Structure 1
Amino acid sequence: MKPQRIVVVGAGHVGLYAALRLSRKLSARQAEVIVIDPQPHMTYQPFLPEAAAGNISPRHSVVPLRRELKRCRIVSGEVTRIEHARKTVTVQPIEGPVKEIAYDHVIVAPGSVSRTLPIPGLRENGIGFKTIGEAIYLRNHILDRLDIAAVTPDPEVRRASLTFVFVGGGYAGIEALAEMEDVVRDALKYYPELRRDEVRFVLVEATNRILPEVGPDMGAYAARQLDRRGIDLRLDTRLESCAGGLIKLSDGDTFRAETLVWTAGVKPSPMLDNTDLPRGPRGHLTCLPTLQIVDGDTVLDGAWSAGDCAQVPDLANPGAWCSPSAQHAVRQASRLADNIRAVVIGATPKDYKHKYAGSVASLGLYKGVAKIYGIKLKGFPAWLMHRTYHMSRIPSFNRKVRVLADWTLAFVLKREVISLGQLHAPREEFTHVTPPLGDGRAAEPVGAGTR
């Protein structure tokens, strides 16, 4: 009997965990698992704030696909189309021509992207916080602003360089803001030219609360802690423009800032626009509790989804949908893999049901908030629980050891406050010192025309 082909679109939390479980639960005679993703790694997004702060090495917040998924076939490329009517995916590899891959089952898990708005200047000046590249760039950018502020004779440039604006009061925004405020406070020890009261961190949140996931009490506690650190909290406020670095808020305030971090929510990957799969009003794939994609009352044979891009009924909270969190994504991935195995061997898939355990959030080094099974924690115990939980969830023993080693070294050694801004334009210096050809033309780059 020919093995069934299972194609996994996306190697995030859902894609990696589902592929790993399928490769362990099904033999090579039963199924072939193909994982398609443009990146050769899975990013453990809860560790992005720690990577940006320098608490862990950026390499240790990502999991190499080829090492972790040894029994799967990895295709480095971008899925440009899914035609479930023909059961094919169209892939643009990072090198070479477009190709089609047929499947028996497809797991559609491309995840989400930043949910942006048509705000003047946002495209030109905003910094996202969804990828490891954005986290590294933010760290280098902020430390570069300190160098600029320390040497500029222009007071306006100095103020703009020392003003850091974060938009969005959810997990990503609060954790990134808190960690980067810690970084700047530690870095100021080495900048005698700068005073702490010159640094301004501003949080812009359109609702009247932050961290809604941990409940109103813990959210209010987090707001008080950030306020005590001198962070300017602007609740019930929207960003109206950031054109030319001039920040305009809905409360009427206007000021200049050279750093704008956008963490105001996510939306399903735009890749879903190029599929014939049914979607809900917000663009998510509509799923049954079994994680099978459904079109009205019709279950699509061999189509599965979970995570940020899927709308899955929350059976533990009737009438609601599962939240787009890593907690649900990891558990959905396991159930999804088991359900595909069940179909392959002729069994019946089971419903996904998980009572949300609660939430933990870091507020910087040794500070945090948590609400776990109704129990509220704050300060150091919450921070310790945050680290312990995410240490248990990051895939592979290799990554657990490396992250633990990073944390141990950070505990006994001073924080690194070095900017490696040259990473973002590594060929600039070499290009500057290399003369053009005699006729004024630049030499053709090595490898040109091969991609």
Structure 2
Amino acid sequence: MTTAESTRIVIVGGGTIGAGAARELRKRLPAGEAELTVIDRRSYLTYQPFLAEAAAGSVEPRHVVVPLREILPGCRVLTAEVTGIDRDARSVTMRAGDHVEEIGYDVLIVGAGSVSRTLPIPGLAEHGIGFKTLEEAIYLRNHALSRLDRATTTMDPQTRRRLLTFVFVGGGYAGVEAMAELEDMVRQALPSYEIDPGELRWVLVEAMDRIMPEVSPRLANYTVDVLRGRGFEVRLGTQLKSAQDCHVVLSDGAEFDAGTLVWTAGVKANPMLAHTDLPLDERGRVKTSATLEVPGSPGVFAAGDCAAVPDLTKKDPSATCPPSAQHASRQAKRVARNVIASLHGRPLRPYRHVNAGSVASIGLHKGVAEVYRVKVRGFPAWAMHRLYHLALMPTAHRKARIAADWLLSLPFRRQVVATGEQQNPRREFVAASRS
């Protein structure tokens, strides 16, 4: 129950920062001291580390998302798109459909997250598939399986080669995990199709001279060896130059047709920030101090992928924290505690986090991990990846559902069916109504 004197705390974004900060504030603030409002165009939090498994059918897609209203009791959750922030008026403008509304704040936390960072490459917008949202993961799953359906029915060898060629651009965690999990799914589905495993072509394109910069070069090289051992083409130091008409042109001179092009080459701050009066850096991120405050903006804080948070663990004073789930989950708690400190007149503490390590899956029963400089690979690393992210998954019943999905996959094969109409469910009805 709030009162007229309650502090209005508005949180822009319902992702790791927004949901995490709201939960921490609700837990630590006395009842009635603040009115918490969370604004996001989606009504749920997506746990992104499980997107690859959701795309590959290892877990049910609905189990990797959590309704915000479920995990934020006592908070006001508004399903709307933020279109502007006015620091002078201390207000946030949002749009839900055709309806535009303004809401005032006393304290503002900006956790608007990020979107895929794309480049002006011919054909990318028309044929590329992103991999940041649950909707994109489901689409990719249906798309990949539909390529098998079409390849089985075509008599043209050139069309068949194109349909069975899968290209992933970006060798970070997202790209490697998505490609490895999807290849597992497709390979498991092949006995149901008239397709030889040797007909499949998987290509990973990375502009840097190594993949997965989050781990040591030794583990990155091991990952490349594992991928190549599974038949993947790993092209390092290579860029995508064109993808017009599904014809892939790479900077190393290679050219070929591809039926699937997945873009996981980095992220950029939410472009919505350009329509606010917040101070931004050259990469479009909100400038913050080490305490996550926005300079010259009393009562305004920012964190996560959309914020340029100083990295105090680096000697370079211009270094900022990378956009990772590990930083976001910890910044969410720090920004909430600093908001409480500011309300109670206590000193704010700077955000400082030394990376404890990284874990990644590179397909079923295969993984790499580096925890406190201890390097692990193979099945133990894969198990660590699952256990670590299962522990971080919000709510006990979501953890239980994901664990149940994994257990059921032991005696039973994963479901391999493309529900293509899911992308346009009204198409058949519209066609029938016009006939």
Interval containing the TM-score (normalised by the shorter chain): over 0.9
> 1:358 and 1:2 mapped to 2: Cα distance?
44
Note the aligned Cα RMSD (angstroms). 1.1
What is the CA distance between 1:89 and its match in structure 2?
0.3
**Does structure 2 conserve the Cα–Cα contact (< 8 Å) formed by 1:34 and 1:72?**
yes
The letter of the residue matching 1:285 is V
What is the DSSP-based 3-state SS (H/G/I as helix, E as strand, rest coil) of the residue aligned with 1:182? helix
Counterpart amino acid of residue 58 in structure 2: N
Distance between the aligned counterparts of 2:300 and 2:7, measured in 1?
A: 14
2:369 alignment partner in structure 1? 370
Residue 309 of structure 2: aligned partner: 312
Which residue in 2 is equivalent to 1:446? none
Instruction: Report what 2:26 is aligned to.
Output: 23
1:84 Cα deviation from its structure 2 partner: 0.9
Q: Secondary structure at the match of 1:333?
A: helix
Please name the residue that 1:449 is paired with: none
Does the residue aligned with 1:82 lie in a helix, a strand or coil?
strand
Q: Deviation digits for residues 131-158 of structure 1, max 9, x if unmatched? A: 0000000000000000111110111110
1:40-90 Cα distance to aligned partner (Å, 9 max, x none):
101111110010010111001111011111110011100000011211000
Quote the residue 1:328 is aligned against. 327
TM-score by length of 1: 0.94
Alignment length (residue pairs) = 430
Aligned pairs for 1:241-252 (under 5 A) are 241-252=242-253
- 2: CA distance, partners of 1:323 / 1:410: 34
Instruction: Please tell me whether residue 172 in structure 1 is matched to residue 174 in structure 2.
Output: yes
Q: Is the 8 A contact 1:75 1:93 kept in 2?
A: no
Say which is worse superposed, 59-68 or 425-434, in terms of deviation.
425-434
2:6 to 3, 15, 39: 3
Alpha-carbon distance between aligned partners in 1 of 2:280 and 2:353, rounded to the nearest angstrom: 23
Does 2:417 align with 1:414? no
In structure 1, give the amino acid aligned to 2:76.
Answer: R
1:66 is aligned to 2:72: no
Does residue 302 of the first structure (1) align with residue 303 of the second (2)?
no
| 351-360 or 162-171: bigger deviation | 351-360
1:13 to 10, 16, 21: 16
Q: Supply the distance in 1 between the matched residues of 2:204 and 2:382 (Cα, whole angstroms).
A: 21
Q: Is the 8 A contact 1:167 1:261 kept in 2?
A: yes
1:260-409 equivalent positions in 2, closer than 5 A: 260-294=261-295, 298=296, 300-319=297-316, 320-409=319-408
2: distance between equivalents of 1:91 and 1:286? 22
Structure 1 position 332, deviation (Å): 0.6
Aligned mates of 2:46, 2:187 — CA distance in 1:
27
Q: Distance in 2 between matches of 1:379 and 1:401?
A: 25
Take 1:412 and 1:26, find their aligned partners in 2: how far apart are those partners? Answer: 47
* Distance in 2 separating the partners of 1:373 and 1:89: 42
1:256 alignment partner AA: D
Contact 1:116–1:264 (CA under 8 A) maintained in structure 2: yes
3-state SS of 1:149 partner: helix
Partner of 2:427 in structure 1? 428
Partner Cα distance (2:157, 2:233) in 1: 21
Equivalent of residue 117 in structure 2, options 115, 118, 122: 115
1:190 to 189, 192, 211: 192
Q: What is residue 53 of structure 2 aligned with on the other side?
A: 50
SS state at 2:78 partner: strand
Q: What does the per-residue CA deviation read over 1:327-364, in whole Å, with 9 as the maximum and x for residues that have no partner?
A: 11011100110111111122221111111111111001
8 Å contact from structure 1 (residues 3, 28) kept in 2:
no
Give, in whole Å, the separation in 2 of the partners of 1:97 and 1:183.
42
Distance 1:331 1:76 in 2: 25
The Cα shift of 1:412 comes to 2.2
Q: Deviations over 1:4-32 (max 9, x none)?
A: 10100001100000011111211342100
Displacement of 1:97 after TM fit?
Answer: 2.3
Deviation at 1:318, TM superposition (A): 3.4
Over the matched positions of the two proteins, sequence identity in percent amounts to 53
Structure 1 residue ranges (4+ consecutive) displaced by more than 3 angstroms after TM superposition? none
**Counterpart code for 2:89:** R
**Pairing partner for 1:157 from 156, 159, 164:** 159
Return the offset for 1:317.
Answer: 2.7
Rounded Cα–Cα distance in structure 1 between residues aligned with 2:392 and 2:74: 21
Aligned twin of 1:441:
none
Q: Does 1:39 align with 2:31?
A: no
Take 1:56 and 1:77, find their aligned partners in 2: how far apart are those partners? 28
Question: Partner of 2:150 in structure 1?
Answer: 148
SS across alignment from 1:280: coil
| Cα separation, 1, equivalents of 2:389 and 2:163 | 33
